[in-house]
Amino acid sequence: MSEPIGTGGPDRPTKSRNIQMIYRLKRIAVMLLLATLGQVVTGAPIDSDSAAVKSHHWIVPDYGKLQFAGNIGVGSIGVGYQYAPKLTLEIFAGYLPKIYSKQPMYIFTVKNSYFPMQKELKGDYLLRPLGVGFFVSYSTSDNLFTTTRSLPYDFSYYGFATSIRTALTFESSITKQIRKDYPGYIKSIGFYDEISIVDIDLVNFVQNHKIGFHSILSIALGVRLSF
């Protein structure tokens, strides 16, 4: 997890630009996720193929995930909704132990992803070479804040809640269909890797050319089970 800004370091003009850019990223991400949640809850089809995607009540997830690393905890568990043929919404709960942070954290994440390409392979395998997305996460820790009631300065100094993070994600996966004709069982199992870049790291990289691009990347590995 990246350390919050606003506690020293860059000069005031640079810090102000950082805050403004991060605030805009957070606002855009939250607005897009709210629109997606509305789409999932109402069940309104996005295109002519979407009606066939959901065959059960919207609250029942289409798949589950187990993930290692990736800016949402050392380990996390989540559920996903395939609300259109190429679009997914996922909800995670993760944990970051004290060994990796000043304090242990629980991290709750909502992620939206778009998979423009997929290819069916021999042996009932499905390859998704690249999916792009973003997430918004909330972390519980005494070192982070959502409001500034207990802090020495008002909210205008910090500019954004350090307990809330947004990130860009890039995912690839391969899935094996295991039960096509037996409803109620696990239909497929997949393995995926994901690269994510959180907002503060992206802003710092754009404004500081001494930061290597590889240093702002976080890699995750995971398993996906479709129901």
Domain boundaries along the sequence of the chain? 12-44+55-226
Q: Once rounded to an integer, what is the mean pLDDT over residues 188-216?
A: 90
Of 176-180, 182-186, 218-222, highest mean pLDDT: 218-222
pLDDT at 24: 60
pLDDT of residue 131: 94
Provide mean pLDDT across the span 176-200.
84
Q: What angle do CA 133, 80, 176 make, to 5 degrees?
A: 95
Q: Which two tokens stand for residue 174?
A: 């391969």
CA distance 211 to 72: 22
**Residue bearing the bigger pLDDT, 204 or 224:** 224
- On whether the CB atoms of residues 224 and 177 are closer than 8 A, the answer is no
State which amino acid sits at residue 151: L
Q: What does DSSP assign to residue 4?
A: P
C-alpha 112/C-alpha 135 separation (Å) is 6
pLDDT value at position 47? 45
pLDDT at 138 over 80: yes
Whether 158 has a pLDDT exceeding 70, the answer reads: no
Pairing of strands 188-198, 218-226: antiparallel
Residues 42-99 pLDDT 10s: 554 444 444 445 556 668 899 999 999 999 999 999 999 988 888 899 999 999 998 8
The CA-based angle 6-11-17, given to 5 degrees, is 70
Q: What are phi and psi of 222, to 5 degrees?
A: -160, 170
| C-alpha distance across the termini of the chain, in Å | 32
Chain mean pLDDT for the chain: 77
- CATH of the domain spanning 12-44+55-226: 2.40.160.20
Q: Is the pLDDT of residue 128 over 60?
A: yes
Q: CB–CB of 135/25 below 8 Å?
A: no
Question: Contact 129/172 with Cβ under 8 angstroms?
Answer: yes
